[in-house]
Structure 1
Amino acid sequence: MSKNSGSLKAVFYALGANGGIALAKAVAAFFTGSGAMLAEALHSFADCGNQVLLLVGMQQAKKLPTPDHPMGYGRVVYFWSMMVGVLLFSIGGLFSVWHGVQSLQHPEPVKYLLPSLGVLLVAVVLEGISLRGALKALAVERGEKSLWRWFRETRQSELLVITGEDIAALAGLALAFVALALTGLTGNPVFDALGSIAVGLLLMGVSFAVTTEVKSLITGESASPEMRSAITEFVASQPEVERIVNLITFQLGDKIAVAVKAKMVPMASADALVSAIDEVEERLQAHFPNLHWSFFEPDAGKPRPEPAAL
């Protein structure tokens, strides 16, 4: 399964789960008057909109290169991922905190607690299915890495967003469940209001983490450390290459570009040198299917003079 198809499945998993969850939470919030439940319903509706935006970005990223965009539109998915992060903060986080503050100032009793807790438990199951789909999609890339390390190093912004959303959703459901349970046990609606605020702060924290990572992708990142090492090792192992002088990779959505400067082994002629470079590039792109552009420059390999001190 390709990285792109895995990401697409994860987005559809999340969209289906959040659609059902949002409707269930909205009905429960209407009948109970629970602020924490309303915050969770808004969070789920916002997540549905977020997944639609990711699908738009993934579709736009498939557009063919043009003279104005000679390396394609792969990075457009980063823009839509950033939009999702901002919406998660503004619609989900800020509104939940605002509603919680309003509930603290004007507390109202919460009704139908048992059905609401049942809705939350069902939502936990559905969110768990969505998170399982996301984790399955990222399993190959993640390998033995911790989830946090993968989060910091991945170049798949759509999976990063979906995983962050699902984790935030499960944690938010736990907070809402505890808030409603405490409200039911004590009869004090303040716990429900505090639950709404806690859910909002959680969403704002996840939004900050997601947008920080996506900002790094937008401003330009190399391929992942593992991919950089693999490409470097492959080029260095080619019989036509004496040694690598410099190698730079660029991540462009789900595609990669590489620029290589290398000292080649002695060739009989300039034509032989060009032919050798072409063969190395062909083997490189065949070995790494996501590598769509390579720029190869032969170099004399002489040491570069140190810059003069100011």
Structure 2
Amino acid sequence: MSEFFKLLKGGNKPSLTAAIVNTIIAALKAGAFFITGNVAMFAEMMHSIGDAANQFFVFIGSALSKKAPTPRFPNGFGRLVNLVCLGAVLLVGILSYETIKEGWHHIQHPAASSGMAISLIVLGIGIILEFVVLYKAGKEILHDVSVKGSFLAPLTTSFAHLNRAKPATKLVFMEDLVATSGGILAFIAVLISHFTGFLQAEGIASIMIGLMMFYVVGKVFLDNARGALGETDEQMLVHIAHIISENPHVKDISELEVIKEGEFLHVKLVAEVDPSLSFAQVDDIHDVLKDLILNQQGVTDVTIAFDEDDGIKKWVHHKDPQTILKTHD
């Protein structure tokens, strides 16, 4: 049990923050829904409940994925976070369906809701809190890829680097982006329903929120399915090939694999070197390359083998500076 709590300290902090915030928001929205009967509030309540539940699971999964390999599981637990994310989005998918169904029912059978002030206050609080979590997740994404930016960068630049974010952080960012947008939609729907008498606005907002939730389900499901299978990180592969090729002793690269498992990268390299080099010299080259690769962000395991140079260049890698990542010293 002590090991479990020790692992929790290394869990994904944005997902824990988001889980706590969404639990508070879900409680507020649940209270407001039971008081007012507002359908748009129901959609937001379901959304926040789903977000809170799966973000707690994702936090625990991200922590357990850092568990050291065991004799029974020699490859470690890196893919566990992908499996947890897959389970988490299934829960969101169920709640998305319920949200859309309730919205459709309200469109067919519109009914006036009460307590507009309560709904707007709760939705306003929810929007602000979700926005804060979204901003923090954006900052974490930029930190993951070692990118610095302006005050607005977590809300702008982070989108360009979303594919390189940790699975848990990416899930939090996408869910809170939808949550913030959904809160604004619900806020507008309540105003339209109250001041124009167009009661179906709340049902339409509920369906739109449910559809946005389904988009997150599909996107996160596909991303984590690839991660659970063990996906090649193309951008990091190009980057590592580039820095290895700069070593004067490496004549060619016979084989290079960069496999992403959860938050971690596993690298396998077969490099060609001058056959006249001594064992001691090759061993020194091995140590230099291993240290260099391990210093790249996310790399946790490196396997290096050598072959004699056959004089034929077989490896071709891109030299476009936009595909070369910043070296982490």
For normalisation by structure 2, the TM-score amounts to 0.82
**How much has 1:281 moved relative to structure 2?**
4.2
- Cα contact 2:268–2:302 (8 A) shared by 1: yes
Matching residue of 2:238: 229
* Change beyond 3 A, Cα 1:289–1:112: closer
**How much has 1:252 moved relative to structure 2?**
2.1
Q: Which amino acid aligns with 2:251?
A: E
- Cα contact 1:13–1:133 (8 A) shared by 2: no
Unaligned runs of 5+ in 2: 1-7, 150-155, 315-329
How far apart in 1 are the matches of 2:77 and 2:10?
Answer: 19
- Cα contact 2:290–2:302 (8 A) shared by 1: no
Aligned residue runs from structure 1 range 84-123, under 5 A = 84-91=88-95, 93-123=96-126
How far apart in 2 are the matches of 1:253 and 1:286?
Answer: 17
Matching residue of 1:187: 197
How far apart in 2 are the matches of 1:285 and 1:37?
Answer: 50
- Cα contact 2:11–2:63 (8 A) shared by 1: no
**How much has 1:142 moved relative to structure 2?**
7.1
Matching residue of 1:217: 227
Unaligned runs of 5+ in 1: 306-310
**1:275 lines up with 2:283 in the alignment:** yes
Instruction: Give the alignment's Cα RMSD to 1 decimal.
Output: 2.5
Moved more, 65-74 or 135-144: 135-144
Listed one character per residue, the Cα deviations across residues 12-41 of structure 1 (whole Å, up to 9, x for unaligned) are 221222122111111111111111101101
**How much has 1:147 moved relative to structure 2?**
4.2
Bigger relative contact order, structure 1 or 2 (CA pairs below 8 A, ≥6 apart): 1
Secondary structure of the 2:251 match is strand
Matching residue of 2:152: none
Q: 2:295 aligns with which of 287, 294, 310?
A: 287
- Cα contact 2:137–2:172 (8 A) shared by 1: yes
Matching residue of 1:66: 70
Secondary structure of the 1:31 match is helix
**How much has 1:148 moved relative to structure 2?**
4.2
- Cα contact 2:11–2:60 (8 A) shared by 1: no
Q: Which amino acid aligns with 2:189?
A: A
Q: 1:56 aligns with which of 46, 57, 60?
A: 60
How far apart in 2 are the matches of 1:142 and 1:218?
Answer: 25
**How much has 1:47 moved relative to structure 2?**
0.8
User: How many pairs does the alignment contain?
Assistant: 298
**How much has 1:154 moved relative to structure 2?**
1.9
Aligned residue runs from structure 1 range 59-208, under 5 A = 59-91=63-95, 93-140=96-143, 141=145, 143=147, 146-151=157-162, 153-154=163-164, 156-208=166-218
Q: 2:21 aligns with which of 5, 17, 24?
A: 17
Listed one character per residue, the Cα deviations across residues 202-238 of structure 1 (whole Å, up to 9, x for unaligned) are 111222122122222222222361x333322332233
**How much has 1:75 moved relative to structure 2?**
1.0
How far apart in 1 are the matches of 2:307 and 2:87?
Answer: 42
How far apart in 1 are the matches of 2:294 and 2:103?
Answer: 56
- Cα contact 2:85–2:224 (8 A) shared by 1: yes
Q: 2:249 aligns with which of 213, 228, 240?
A: 240
Q: Which amino acid aligns with 1:167?
A: L
Matching residue of 1:260: 269
For normalisation by structure 1, the TM-score amounts to 0.87
Q: Which amino acid aligns with 1:192?
A: E
- Cα contact 2:10–2:63 (8 A) shared by 1: no
Listed one character per residue, the Cα deviations across residues 261-301 of structure 1 (whole Å, up to 9, x for unaligned) are 111134444x3365235323442355336422222222234
How far apart in 2 are the matches of 1:223 and 1:260?
Answer: 14
**How much has 1:132 moved relative to structure 2?**
1.0
Matching residue of 1:308: none
- Cα contact 2:100–2:210 (8 A) shared by 1: yes
Secondary structure of the 1:250 match is strand
